[in-house]
Amino acid sequence: MIDRLLELYMKWEKDERVRMVIIAGAGRGFCAGGDVAVVYLLGKSGDKDRGNTFFGKEFRLNYILGTYEKTHVALLDGVVMGGGNGVSMHGKFRIATENTKFAMPETAIGLHPDIGASYFLSRLPGHLGEYLGLTGTRLDGADLLSCGLVTHFVPSKRLDDLVDRLGNLNSGDPDVVSSAIDEFCDVVCPGDKSPLHRRDAIDRCFGHDTVEEIVQALEIQAGRSEDEWYTNTLALLKKMSPISLKVALRSIREGRQQSLFQCLESDYRLVVHAVNATHSTDFYEGCRALLVDKDNKPKWSPPTLAEVTKEMVDDIFGPFHRGEKVSELLVQDRERNSRSLSRL
């Protein structure tokens, strides 16, 4: 899929007849990712380089979307998780429906929120990005519109008519396209159980410098309050890979000051460490427990936050020094990078 999309997007960008690209899911969802299951199998069979090459291609596509010269419209009807966010969130228009289910659940499988998620999560209000990235919490379409991860909300029954309307515009002008989408929109607000109603609590707990301090803040609030949100959030964090939590937090924090290209370049270094198991086998253990054997009982290594040292995390974020090379597929394109930087 990534190979085909790379081919098409590069072709369409140069084609003067193409004014707009609309992407939608082929089934009940938009795209749930799932690519990591194949990378897991490649790594277990000894073909880690092929898995790393896949990530290089995927991140290149993410970057192309973030700097695309043609108007891009993603119809996020259904599940949009992991890699699905990579082929949608970086584009100009993102349209949610009542069926949309968003999440970046990578810390549950020993990875970090990749595909440039540190770029868009870090730009959410307050510390919502850290909360979503560390816990993998799901948001629905109304939530996504409220926090700005999508640009429009359109009921699913109107999508076909919307596509017809866009197809008849004969224009890719973003203002014209946005006005056309507005014709099909509904006004929606987060539901009663939406995590967005916990913004004060999220900012208070997830604004700390370290994962240990975040956990401690949640524990203190859980002891003082009868609100189950604190204990439920603690339970979520305690299921996740400790090394992934620390990598995810640092990735999102650093992403605030980085361009999209820099976020994706960092993502590539981080996934190579995970796939190559240079510091931990958590990626393989997480995939085994949640995607392959599905026993939901991963045995993390290191097993606790205290055993994930600062030196370990520093090395994961540092330049490659064991012969690894940044994928040639992520060689910097100066023109694209300048466009990415201008969006900061």
% of residues, the chain, pLDDT over 90:
88
Whether 183 has a pLDDT exceeding 50, the answer reads: yes
DSSP string over 131-192: HHHHH---EEHHHHHHHTSSSEE--GGGHHHHHHHHHTS----HHHHHHHHHTT-------T
Is 338 part of any domain?
no
Is 202 part of any domain?
yes
Is 243 part of any domain?
yes
Whether 319 has a pLDDT exceeding 80, the answer reads: no
- Distance CA(255)–CA(333), nearest Å, equals 19
On whether the CB atoms of residues 104 and 119 are closer than 8 A, the answer is: no
Report the pLDDT averaged over residues 148-160: 97
Any idea what the Cα angle at residue 190 is, between residues 188 and 191, rounded to 5°? Answer: 110
Q: Which of 106, 140, 265, 267 is catalytic?
A: 106
Is 114 catalytic? The answer is yes
On whether the CB atoms of residues 79 and 57 are closer than 8 A, the answer is: no
- Distance CA(34)–CA(139), nearest Å, equals 19
- Distance CA(109)–CA(2), nearest Å, equals 21
Is 121 part of any domain?
yes
Is 293 part of any domain?
yes
What's the pLDDT score for residue 340?
A: 47
On whether the CB atoms of residues 143 and 190 are closer than 8 A, the answer is: yes
- Distance CA(342)–CA(344), nearest Å, equals 6
% of residues, the chain, pLDDT over 70:
93
Whether 330 has a pLDDT exceeding 80, the answer reads: no
Whether 331 has a pLDDT exceeding 70, the answer reads: no
Q: Which of 35, 58, 77, 114 is catalytic?
A: 114
What's the pLDDT score for residue 336?
A: 58
3-state secondary structure of 16: coil
H or E element that contains 110:
none
Range of the domain at 219: 1-14+21-333
What's the pLDDT score for residue 232?
A: 96
Report the pLDDT averaged over residues 137-142: 97
Is 329 part of any domain?
yes
Structural domain count of the chain: 1
Which residue type does 303 have? P
Average pLDDT, the chain: 92
Residue 319 or residue 69, greater confidence: 69
What's the pLDDT score for residue 332?
A: 47
Distance (Å) of CA 120 to CA 7, 40, 64, 86, 263: 25, 26, 15, 10, 10
Q: Which of 3, 7, 15, 34 is catalytic?
A: 34
What's the pLDDT score for residue 165?
A: 97
Report the pLDDT averaged over residues 228-252: 97
For residue range 88-136, what is the model confidence (pLDDT) as tens digits? Answer: 999 999 999 999 999 999 999 999 999 999 999 999 999 999 999 999 9
Torsion region of 202: left, alpha or beta (phi above 0 gives left; psi -120 to 50 gives alpha): alpha
On whether the CB atoms of residues 120 and 89 are closer than 8 A, the answer is: yes
For residue range 250-303, what is the model confidence (pLDDT) as tens digits? Answer: 999 999 999 999 999 999 999 999 999 999 999 999 999 999 999 999 999 999
For residue range 31-47, what is the model confidence (pLDDT) as tens digits? Answer: 998 788 889 999 999 99
Is 341 part of any domain?
no
CATH of the domain at 90: 3.90.226.10
For residue range 11-28, what is the model confidence (pLDDT) as tens digits? Answer: 999 999 999 999 999 988
Is 106 catalytic? The answer is yes
On whether the CB atoms of residues 12 and 70 are closer than 8 A, the answer is: yes
pTM, whole model, 2 decimals? Answer: 0.92
Whether 304 has a pLDDT exceeding 60, the answer reads: yes
On whether the CB atoms of residues 252 and 111 are closer than 8 A, the answer is: no
What's the pLDDT score for residue 297?
A: 94
Whether 323 has a pLDDT exceeding 80, the answer reads: no
Is 83 catalytic? The answer is yes
Two tokens, residue 42: 């490649």
Whether 317 has a pLDDT exceeding 60, the answer reads: yes
Any idea what the Cα angle at residue 109 is, between residues 241 and 265, rounded to 5°? Answer: 90
Is 9 part of any domain?
yes
Number of residues written out for the chain: 344
Q: Which of 82, 83, 136, 255 is catalytic?
A: 83
